[in-house]
Amino acid sequence: MNKLLTIAFVLLLFNCKTPEARRPISVKTGSFIDASVERNKKLNAKEQATIEKIMEQQQKDYIASESGFWYYYNIKTENDTLKTPDFGDIVNFNYDVKSLKGHTIYSFEDLKTQTYAMDKEELFTGLREGLKLMKTGETVTFLFPSQKAFGYYGDENKIGSNTPLICEVTINSITPNQTN
């Protein structure tokens, strides 16, 4: 019986050790993110080259925005009393959407007249930033790289993934926000 108690005591002594941390089976690195960054840099360079080629062919006075898209005025208002929209202002406008090859994706008739509360509603990044540059009565043509348009997801309808766009936009009116 002593032998049995001694063996049980020894087994109990060796089985009561503190738990050890388990090591991960695989180690994750930033390789996916690094590959994604490289892919996006290449895509951006390709789109920019295509847009620059279009600008050269059209020979218009394109302006590079600080936000990463290009535009020119079809109709420019020189009236200094007219203001560009501020946060919360109601902007009434029309626009169309074309591919860089000039094929119409959405016409003015498809999109109808839009009413947008500045920075309070959803609108793709480039168009939202472009409206901030415009005054009532102006018509502007924008060239948006895909990251300023609908990006990776597209619009889940007619605009595919990573599609740069051309949009012609006319602002009909800007109604100031009453709480400003």
Mean pLDDT of 132-154: 95
Task: Give the confidence band of 105 by pLDDT, cuts at 50, 70, 90.
Answer: very high
Q: Summarize pLDDT for 72-92 with one digit per residue, the tens.
A: 999 999 888 889 999 999 999
What distance in Å separates the CA atoms of residue 80 and residue 69, rounded to the nearest whole number?
Answer: 25
Of residues 126, 94, 98, the one with CA closest to residue 112 = 94
Domain assignments of the chain as residue spans, ordered by start? 61-175
Residue 142, SS3 per DSSP: strand
Residue 70, SS3 per DSSP: strand
Q: What is the pLDDT of residue 33?
A: 84
Task: Give the confidence band of 6 by pLDDT, cuts at 50, 70, 90.
Answer: confident
Contact 117, 93 (CB under 8 A): no
Give every CB contact of residue 68 below 8 A, 6+ residues apart in sequence: 145, 147, 148
**What average pLDDT does the structure give for the chain?**
89
- Confirm whether pTM is higher than 0.85: no
pLDDT above 90: residue 170: yes
At residue 138's C-alpha, the angle toward residues 136 and 143, to 5°, is 130
Q: Summarize pLDDT for 18-55 with one digit per residue, the tens.
A: 666 777 676 566 678 888 888 999 999 999 999 999 99
Q: What is the pLDDT of residue 151?
A: 92
Residue 60, SS3 per DSSP: coil
Give every CB contact of residue 154 below 8 A, 6+ residues apart in sequence: 160, 161, 162, 163
For the domain bounded by 61-175, which CATH number is listed? 3.10.50.40
Mean pLDDT of 161-173: 96
